[in-house]
Amino acid sequence: MTKLTFFTFIVLATSISFIFLETPPKSFYHTLFISDSFSDNSSIANHLYTLTKRPHVAGSQANADAAAYVLSIFTSCNIPSHLTSYDVALTYPVSRSLTLKSSEKTIKFGLFQEIYDGDPYAEVANEVLPTFHAYARSGTATGPVVYANYGRVEDYATLREMGVNVSNTVVLARYGKIYRGDIVHNAHAVGAIGVLIFTDKKDYGGEKWFPDDKWMPPSGVQVGSVYDGIGDPTTPGWPSTGECERLSDEEVDEGGNVPLIPSLPISWADGDAIIRTIGGKVANVDWQGGKDSPIYRVGPGPAIANLSYEGQQVISTIQNVIAVIEGEEEPDRYASLTFNFS
Ligand SMILES: *[C@@H]1O[C@H](CO)[C@@H](O)[C@H](O)[C@H]1NC(C)=O
Ligand SMILES: *[C@@H]1O[C@H](CO)[C@@H](O)[C@H](O)[C@H]1NC(C)=O
Ligand SMILES: *[C@@H]1O[C@H](CO)[C@@H](O)[C@H](O)[C@H]1NC(C)=O
């Protein structure tokens, strides 16, 4: 969840078991990578399946279990490995709400991800946290909606050229092209008071979706951090251990890397419902949606969005799994390969 404090060497974990064998032909590795059969316990598919069977958000017991699993795989391959724990500032959602009021109707969004026929994760659905942005600002934003494409700096330049004033509006942007934390940051920089980020089928969709295809279903939501810095926001540049010194909330805000306006990630279906209420000028061709989408307009409004998010910050223990494989050439030099398993 945090970008860098929370990494592991999972990529190694999945390929390590062959290292001590005679070098097998390349096609062997290839087979393990693409195998969708779980019968070989050392296949990528099998490890991935095991690690993704349950949700395991950073700081949870399930995530500690995932770390222990990765450690056990390394250890069983005779790779010197260990866990290092850190006590980091994480955020979890307490409440969220989103309504959209137009002259015709008020839409109250449920903000929840549906379970689909054949969904292999249905039985653990209640372990999934409500959709949220980690490190999102708590607060309420009420204003007309402006559609801002991917929320890049150049997208706001385009809006300005179109005569759209983003100040005091709630921005609707779509995922893709830039980091979600920058989407929130850029919106704040032009005076927006809240941000909704949806997954557009144009960028992340096809005819079918999970569990029949790789794409997220219409109610699926991409979550993740909106923190723009590295690691734990309360310990920039030093390790988050035990009773270490930490920045206060005010100092964190002044650092400029945490968002200063609230944001919510939303699904394609919810984004589509909002788009349909936005009036104003027709957006450029490259701002439009995919096949079967309505015409995207930029707003502002006329519908008024009310976005509300409240999160809580906790100091929670997370683990890094560290495995060291000594190289044959220049063994005193380190090349680090990291992966995030939250
Ligand atoms: C593969 O993993 C399963 C489940 O952990 C275990 O029951 C089985 O014995 C393993 N098979 C081999 C060949 O190690
Ligand atoms: C944009 O709108 C705000 C009020 O929401 C107003 O204060 C500001 O002057 C407007 N800017 C321009 C360039 O019209
Ligand atoms: C916006 O939503 C929040 C949370 O549901 C609510 O407390 C607030 O009164 C709403 N604001 C407006 C202007 O409707």
CA distance 87 to 315: 6
Residue 261 lies in a domain: yes
Q: How many domains in the chain?
A: 2
The number of the ligand 2 atom at minimal distance from the alpha carbon of 169 is 5
**pLDDT, tens digit (0-9, with 9 covering 90-100), for 166-221:** 999 999 999 999 999 999 999 999 999 999 999 999 999 888 998 889 899 999 99
Residue 222 lies in a domain: yes
Ligand 2, atom 4, residue with closest C-alpha? 167
Ligand 3, atom 4, residue with closest C-alpha? 308
> Which pLDDT value is given to residue 5?
31
Same domain, 69 and 100: no
Q: Is 97 in the pocket of ligand 3 (CB under 6 A)?
A: yes
> Which pLDDT value is given to residue 69?
95
Residue 179 lies in a domain: yes
What type of residue is 230?
I
> Which pLDDT value is given to residue 34?
65
Ligand 1 center to 29 CA (angstroms) = 20
Same domain, 99 and 139: yes
Q: How far is CA 134 from the centre of its chain?
A: 8
Residue 2 lies in a domain: no
Ligand 3 center to 97 CA (angstroms) = 9
Residue 29 lies in a domain: yes
Residue 1 lies in a domain: no
Same domain, 256 and 335: no
Same domain, 184 and 257: yes
Question: Closest-lying ligand to the alpha carbon of 146?
Answer: 2
Q: Is 142 in the pocket of ligand 3 (CB under 6 A)?
A: yes
**pLDDT, tens digit (0-9, with 9 covering 90-100), for 242-255:** 889 999 999 999 99
Which H or E run contains 283?
none
Same domain, 275 and 329: no
DSSP code, position 3: S
Same domain, 125 and 137: yes
Please provide the DSSP assignment of 84-118 as one string. EEEEEEEEEEEEEEEEEE-SS-EEE----PPP-TT
Same domain, 99 and 61: no
User: Which residues lie below 8 Å from residue 281, measured CB to CB, with a gap of 6+?
Assistant: 162, 163, 164, 297, 298
Residue 165: domain span: 90-314
> Which pLDDT value is given to residue 19?
46
Ligand 2, atom 7, residue with closest C-alpha? 167
CATH number, domain with residue 231: 3.50.30.30
Preceding omega of 300 cis (within 30 degrees of 0): yes
Please provide the DSSP assignment of 127-150 as one string. GSPPS-EETPPPEEEEEEEEE-TT
Question: Closest-lying ligand to the alpha carbon of 191?
Answer: 2
Ligand 1 center to 43 CA (angstroms) = 12
Q: Is 306 in the pocket of ligand 3 (CB under 6 A)?
A: yes
For residue 241, give Cα distances in angstroms to 5, 86, 186, 258, 315: 11, 5, 32, 21, 10
Ligand 1 center to 45 CA (angstroms) = 14
Ligand 3 center to 53 CA (angstroms) = 37
> Which pLDDT value is given to residue 341?
67
Question: Closest-lying ligand to the alpha carbon of 138?
Answer: 3
Question: pLDDT under 50 in the chain at which residues?
Answer: 1-21
pTM: 0.87
> Which pLDDT value is given to residue 148?
98
Same domain, 307 and 332: no
Buried b (16+ CB within 10 A) or exposed e, 119-156: eebeeeeeeeeebbbbbbbebebebbbbbbbbbbeebb
> Which pLDDT value is given to residue 74?
87
CA distance 230 to 268: 29
Please provide the DSSP assignment of 217-259 as one string. PTT----EE---SSS-TTSTTS---TT-----HHHHHHTT-S-
Buried b (16+ CB within 10 A) or exposed e, 42-78: bbbbbbeeebeebbbbbbbeebbebbebbbebbeebe
Ligand 1 center to 39 CA (angstroms) = 8
What type of residue is 149?
N
Same domain, 135 and 181: yes
Same domain, 225 and 330: no
Same domain, 259 and 232: yes
Query: Which of 145, 167, 170 has most ligand 2 atoms within 8 Å of its beta carbon, as the pocket-test mutant?
Result: 167
The number of the ligand 2 atom at minimal distance from the alpha carbon of 166 is 1
Q: How far is CA 131 from the centre of its chain?
A: 10
Q: How far is CA 279 from the centre of its chain?
A: 29
